[in-house]
Amino acid sequence: MGAIDDLAGNNRRFAAAYGRGHLDVRPSLRLAIVTCMDSRLDVFAALGLEDGQAHILRNAGGVITDDVIRSLAISQRRLGTVEVALIHHTDCGLQMITDDGFRAELQEATGMAPSFAIESFTDVDEDVRQSIARVRHSPFLLHRSEVRGFVYDVDTGALREVESDAAVLGGG
Ligand SMILES: [Zn+2]
């Protein structure tokens, strides 16, 4: 039996004790968080978040891809969020590969070059700044000035804010 069976069993106990009732589909903090899929980052615990308060978008690296922009556009235009927090982290899996190397590996294994960008990085602060810039420059988003970026330390649990070059980018 795989892990999923255990988790489905856990859910039966969770649902039996569930007392929250119905929450509004619109996040009460009017906040969207984009972060990495990393298994060590418990976003709710690390930020003191509760259910119903924020949208959480996760992928490998917390990268601002077209699909993340799609989600943010819906989050802002239909579900009322106005702020965006980006949380990258130390010891990320994307620091262990290179774009060219992983792309070649996929192509050699499958005979197809992937259509997506790999988005590996070496400097996490620079990666956060690039993600902030992508949000700030997206024409599909309504609210692009309240975007802040952080690095989460997976060994200490501490969050550190990354200074963005918003002035250079012109904000917006
Ligand atoms: Zn990561």
Whole-number Å distance, alpha carbon 20 to ligand 1 midpoint, is: 31
**Distant-in-sequence, close-in-space partners of 34: CB < 8 Å, separation ≥ 6:** 57, 58, 62, 64, 68, 72, 84, 85, 86, 87, 131
State residue 1's pLDDT score. Answer: 66
Instruction: Kindly state the average pLDDT of the residues 42-51.
Output: 98
Contact 47, 22 (CB under 8 A): no
Whole-number Å distance, alpha carbon 37 to ligand 1 midpoint, is: 6
Whole-number Å distance, alpha carbon 16 to ligand 1 midpoint, is: 33
Instruction: Kindly state the average pLDDT of the residues 35-64.
Output: 98
Kindly list the distances between the CA atom of residue 128 and the CA atoms of 24, 30, 36, 115, 159, in Å, as whole numbers in the listed order. Answer: 30, 21, 11, 23, 13
State residue 164's pLDDT score. Answer: 81
State residue 155's pLDDT score. Answer: 98
pLDDT digit string, tens, across residues 121-172: 999 999 999 999 999 999 999 999 999 999 999 999 999 999 986 544 444 4
Whole-number Å distance, alpha carbon 86 to ligand 1 midpoint, is: 12
pLDDT digit string, tens, across residues 73-116: 999 999 999 999 999 999 999 999 999 999 999 999 999 999 99
Instruction: Kindly state the average pLDDT of the residues 26-35.
Output: 98
CA dihedral 127, 133, 135, 140 (to 10 degrees): -140
Whole-number Å distance, alpha carbon 35 to ligand 1 midpoint, is: 8
Distance of alpha carbon 148 from alpha carbon 171, whole angstroms: 11
Whole-number Å distance, alpha carbon 13 to ligand 1 midpoint, is: 30
Whole-number Å distance, alpha carbon 94 to ligand 1 midpoint, is: 6
Whole-number Å distance, alpha carbon 56 to ligand 1 midpoint, is: 15
